[in-house]
Amino acid sequence: MKLRERSPWISNMTLLRKIQLTILIIAAFVIVGFVFYIAKNTYKESEGALLRKAEVLALAMQATGIGYIWNMDYEGLDVIVSTILVDPEVVSILFFDKNDDLVSKEVNKDLVNPAWAIEKEILKDKKKIGRVIIYYSKEELTKKIKHFLITMVIISVIFLVLFSIVLAQVIQWMFNKVTDPLIFTQQHLESKSRMVMESNELLAVKVDQQLEALTRMVASIEEITSTVKQTASNSENATNLGKVVSQSAQNGIEISKKVTEAMSEITTSSGKISAIVKIVESISFQTSILAINAAIEAAKVGELGKGFGVVAV
């Protein structure tokens, strides 16, 4: 089941107008209920007053009718009845004798639909000499209540109009009292929001700059890392080369030591060889001298000494 759509004029109303309309409707119901409550109570009070008035009048007519009926002064009764019938609430007053014969002049305003009647017996020395009936109508009471309702409705309408004007001013004042700080807060928040947006934009620019700088720094760090790695590799190679050079130097030192020792040995051997050579030369010299001497001696011998001379050479 579809919900009934709201009336356009209600949908187009502002919140302030809706509040005013709601309060006016509630006030109207309260006033109408109050008016009807007052009218009901007024009607009851008026009806009670009318009943008391009718009871008093009936007692008065009962007391008054004793002399007139006893003396048969029926014209006097008519004068009294005519005087009382000036009251619009009294429809008719009828006096009867002890034989229930009508003795008063019948003055009938409206007996078609009388509201109610009060009947009292007229006694003299505790003996019934007649009776009186008073007819009352609530028409005047109804007219009074209608007039009262109309008056109250007019007063209520005037009150509602004045109340709506005052209510509009009060609600507008209260609404402004509530909304002014909200509007100020909204404006303040909008200002702060604009400042935050500008700060965010500036921060975004700075962040971009920082990101760009960070990118460059990362690239530099990568380059430095690569250089450090290359340097570490070169250092490792240099270390290895140093180790090789150190080992080579150590080997060179050992070789130098060995060469030195060999040179020392060679020097020693050379000295020995020189001594041997000198000895050999001495021997050779001596041998040569001996050979020469042998040759000389062989030559002296002649043919016999040729072979000896060859051997000596």
| CA atoms of 256 and 253, how far apart (whole Å) | 5
Q: Which residue has the higher pLDDT, 260 or 152?
A: 152
Count of beta carbons in the 10 Å neighbourhood of residue 277: 12
pTM here is 0.41
- 54, 136 contact by CB (below 8 A): yes
Convert the pLDDT of each residue in 226-238 to its tens digit: 776 777 677 677 6
Which of 80, 87, 139 has the alpha carbon at shortest distance from 111? 139
Bridge partners of 119, per DSSP, are: 133
Average pLDDT score over residue span 130-137: 82
- Classified by CATH at the fold level, domain 13-137 comes out as Beta-Lactamase (3.30.450)
- The 3-class secondary structure across 217-268, one letter per residue, is HHHHHHHHHHHHHHHHHHHHHHHHHHHHHHHHHHHHHHHHHHHHHHHHHHHH
Convert the pLDDT of each residue in 165-200 to its tens digit: 887 787 778 777 777 787 878 788 888 888 888 877
Q: How many residues does the chain have?
A: 313
- Report residue 302's pLDDT band, with 50, 70 and 90 as the boundaries: low
User: What integer pLDDT is reported at residue 3 of this predicted model?
Assistant: 45
Domain borders along the chain are: 13-137
